[in-house]
Structure 1
Amino acid sequence: MSDSKAQTSGEGGEDTVGGTRGVLDIARIMEAIPHRYPFLLVDRVVDLIPGVSATGIKNISINEGIFQGHFPRHPVFPGVMIIESMAQTAGVLVVETLGESARGKLVYFMSIEGAKFRKPVVPGDQMRVHVTKERQRGNVWKFSAEAKVDGAVVAEATYAAMILDG
């Protein structure tokens, strides 16, 4: 598409099957969440099913400033940044689920449980973050997430977030 709307197979970002949204490009992600470089940690969202799940893609590049200090001779993408990528993917899912009623609101972390890091993520990796909504009560949402590289789980966590006026 020529505008900043999602690149999808249907109009308005919605497929004709099951309400799934195709691919949300970086412009659509930046409409959904307030994060910007150097802290925008989702490059694309695919397989978004409003109210259910989404997959965020983060391309890990040696050009990212974090690698100047983590670690100069053995660059490893920090675990906290992986968790933040999970949270940002969930934030996009929340905003895309709520639609216009979520515009101008922010999604804040409330808790992180059971975070596990299975193997290092390094420059050149493409991380796929699979986020699933477990439940929603009012403005509080709970998610489970897995981050994978080449199909292998590199991290997982369960976390809660609250959506509030920005």
Structure 2
Amino acid sequence: MEMDIKGILEHLPHRYPMLLVDRVLECVPGESIIAIKNVSFNEPFFTGHFPHHPVMPGVLILEAMAQAAAITSFTAAGKKPDEKTVYYFVGIDAARFKRPVVPGDQLRMELKVERVSRGIVKYKGKALVDGQVAAEAELMCTVRTIDS
């Protein structure tokens, strides 16, 4: 399954400036996803990270990967997030950053579901730029409903 920005907005609770997925190239619900983040000089984080040498913060690369992972989890569950749905990180293991991500790069995120246990999903993934690994990590996430 592919997904454009309209589909992404239906399957993620995130919005500007924290929406970090632009397109889904391939999604096998509950199994794997390949998604794209086009990195523009207009990203708000580049103003301060760093003005003289803009680099996408590693934590935001991991966040983009987690958002892509959330799409496969929501589609597998047959659910769409609402104003009471929050998708949380519960762990990040083996995170490594191999190259900087800079304006003009296209970040390709490839994630696979490794395990599902008691509402926590563990993913293994990588983020690539031009076929080179920019970051890799094992992510653990969960969906929670919040009270207003």
**TM-score category by the smaller chain?**
over 0.9
Cα distance between partner residues in 1 of 2:81 and 2:104? 34
User: Per chain length, whose mean CA-contact separation is higher, i.e. which structure has more relative contact order (CA < 8 Å, sep 6+)?
Assistant: 2
Equivalence for 1:141 = 121
* Equivalent residue in structure 1 for 2:111, among 123, 128, 131: 131
Q: Cα deviations across residues 36-60 of structure 1 (Å, max 9, x unaligned)?
A: 0111000011110111100110000
The 5 A counterparts of 1:1-166 are 21=1, 23-100=2-79, 103-104=81-82, 105-166=85-146
Q: Which amino acid aligns with 1:142?
A: K
Q: Which runs of 4+ in 1 moved over 3 A?
A: 102-105
CA distance in 2, matches of 1:72, 1:150: 24
The residue identity in structure 1 corresponding to 2:103 is: P
Alpha-carbon RMSD: 1.1
- Find the aligned partners of 2:76 and 2:109 in 1 and give their Cα distance: 18
The DSSP-based 3-state class of the residue aligned with 2:86 is strand
SS in 2 for 1:24: coil
User: TM (normalized to structure 1)?
Assistant: 0.83
> Take 2:87 and 2:143, find their aligned partners in 1: how far apart are those partners?
4
How far apart are the structure 2 equivalents of 1:66 and 1:163? 26
Q: Do the aligned partners of 1:33 and 1:106 also contact (CA within 8 Å) in 2? A: no
Could you say which structure has the larger radius of gyration?
1
CA–CA separation in structure 1 for the residues paired with 2:81 and 2:59: 27
For 1:39, what is the secondary structure of its paired residue?
Answer: coil
Could you tell me how far apart the structure 2 residues matched to 1:123 and 1:70 are?
A: 12
TM-score, with length taken from structure 2? 0.93
SS in 2 for 1:40: coil
- Whether contact under 8 Å (1:117, 1:155) holds in the other structure is yes
Residue type of the alignment partner of 1:90: A
1:139 touches 1:164 (CA, 8 Å); kept in 2?
Answer: no
